[in-house]
Structure 1
């Protein structure tokens, strides 16, 4: 949806720019109106072009801001609980990793590489009109394993410590909450010990041969230029465990700030 909005914004921007040029190159130079009909059309076009002069600079700033700097998104699902809740409005830093050409998604300048623990927005690889938000768990070359709800990276167990319960209002039940320690980042995850995930591929995706599934557990090797992502709500997240890896060029940017939640103003702040 964000791509469609950006395209719509670009079309409006071009339209107002053309009206502005018509005003400068033609309307301001036209002094003699020879007929009433011509006068009516002239006034209408002049009115539209004058409006474009006021609108164009605003649209240009918004377009450049959304294309190169920050872009707002709304969280639609519970897959990132408790870090992100449905209804959270977040800001994504689009130049966290590179500066890209709008629409073409071509890197102009590389700034940094995605890191484990980053919360990213990306175009879902199998429907680029849909944007997902997950946490990067595996980098290119990593071996990722998930055994009995315990995460391993390159055969090293990732520490997590119990941190009480999280009450899910939708299911009206308490879910175990943990602090997970990944590299230098600490964040909270949800995992219900009494719930067994049926981990299996939902369809044949690229690099499926890199995955091994067995009795609810799995392991995989992350290929070059791809990333393995998971939701913090481990038992309720449709992520890389089911549909594979996120190509680098699908990444929109890193989510870093909740700027509004109309149901809970206290949620405004930075993300872990």
Structure 2
């Protein structure tokens, strides 16, 4: 039996080599970097964002020196058109990151502190939803005339960056989903049964209940006496909300690190890393 000449010709035919010059190592690294960069930009634009916390307005829920990952896609106005994605409306109690809307009542205050609206990110807790009436009275929050369940704790610190030293003021509220902190000085009148007159606030305080405008939110910091929030400058429009704070991906002791990046790396707070924010 003779071999098929066509089969022999196919076997003997040389393999085709790829045309064009071979990729250099530099080009391969460059392409890998470009793909990684595009994915990072996409993620930072639509999915996640990293923020740091420079002030104590949310202590001890969030500490100065915490680095947070922010979920940017969870909030979807008007419902969830993609049911396979965990999207929902903004709810009371959510800790949100948003662009500072500016102090429309006292713009001079922003200028004196070097604040420019829309240029700095704030982290606060949502207290009032669109259409609700909010009032802050005697260190308690009322929404639509009803007391908002919160556990109040006395918390003080010797400086603006240290965690608050806390002690119990009243039994924990079984209906409360979060804890808020007040200095002993501001809680003393409450303990003595006296009414508190708050100055320096313009919105939602005693004698000034405010209705939250449509498509806006009233926010406050958990460290109530250290927070520059909606009581002073008003409401957060929906379009300024970046997302919900998820968890602490890094944390460092700002006092020990002297504010430097290297010091932040060498003085981590390991117990904070991976902690979910709620």
Query: Which residue is equivalent to 2:70?
Result: 92
Instruction: Name the CA shift for 1:83/1:224 in 2 (closer, same or farther; >3 Å).
Output: same
1:121 to 85, 97, 101: 97
1:47-62 aligned within 5 A: 52-62=30-40
Instruction: Name the CA shift for 1:63/1:225 in 2 (closer, same or farther; >3 Å).
Output: same
Deviations 1:124-161 (A, max 9, x none): 11311111110000000110011111110110012334
What SS does structure 2 have at the residue aligned with 1:115? coil
Which protein is richer in helix relative to its size? Answer: 1
Q: Specify which structure has the bigger relative contact order, considering alpha-carbon pairs within 8 angstroms and separated by 6 or more residues.
A: 2
Query: Which residue is equivalent to 1:270?
Result: 276
Instruction: Name the CA shift for 1:109/1:247 in 2 (closer, same or farther; >3 Å).
Output: farther
TM-score by length of 2: 0.65
Deviations 1:216-262 (A, max 9, x none): x5311001000000000101111111111000010000002111113
Extract structure 1 runs of 4+ deviating beyond 4 A: 46-51, 107-110, 171-182, 211-214
1:212-231 aligned within 5 A: 218-231=208-221
TM-score by length of 1: 0.67
Query: Which residue is equivalent to 1:187?
Result: 178
Query: Which residue is equivalent to 1:14?
Result: none
Structure 1, gaps ≥5 residues long: 1-27, 31-45, 100-106, 202-210
What SS does structure 1 have at the residue aligned with 2:185? coil
Is 1:75–1:85's contact at 8 Å kept on the other side of the alignment? yes
Query: Which residue is equivalent to 1:146?
Result: 136
Is 2:151–2:176's contact at 8 Å kept on the other side of the alignment? no
Measure the CA separation in 2 of the matches of 1:251 and 1:50: 39
Instruction: Name the CA shift for 1:29/1:121 in 2 (closer, same or farther; >3 Å).
Output: same
Measure the CA separation in 1 of the matches of 2:56 and 2:224: 10
Measure how far apart 1:113 and its partner are: 0.9
What SS does structure 1 have at the residue aligned with 2:208? strand
Measure the CA separation in 2 of the matches of 1:137 and 1:181: 17
What CA RMSD, in Å, does the superposition of the two structures yield over aligned residues?
A: 3.3
* Counterpart check, 1:256 vs 2:272: no
Structure 2, gaps ≥5 residues long: 1-18, 103-116, 187-196, 254-268
Instruction: Name the CA shift for 1:212/1:54 in 2 (closer, same or farther; >3 Å).
Output: closer
Query: Which residue is equivalent to 1:135?
Result: 125
Which one has the largest radius of gyration? Answer: 2
Is 1:143–1:222's contact at 8 Å kept on the other side of the alignment? yes
Measure how far apart 1:49 and its partner are: 6.2
Instruction: Name the CA shift for 1:260/1:212 in 2 (closer, same or farther; >3 Å).
Output: closer
Query: Which residue is equivalent to 2:48?
Result: 70
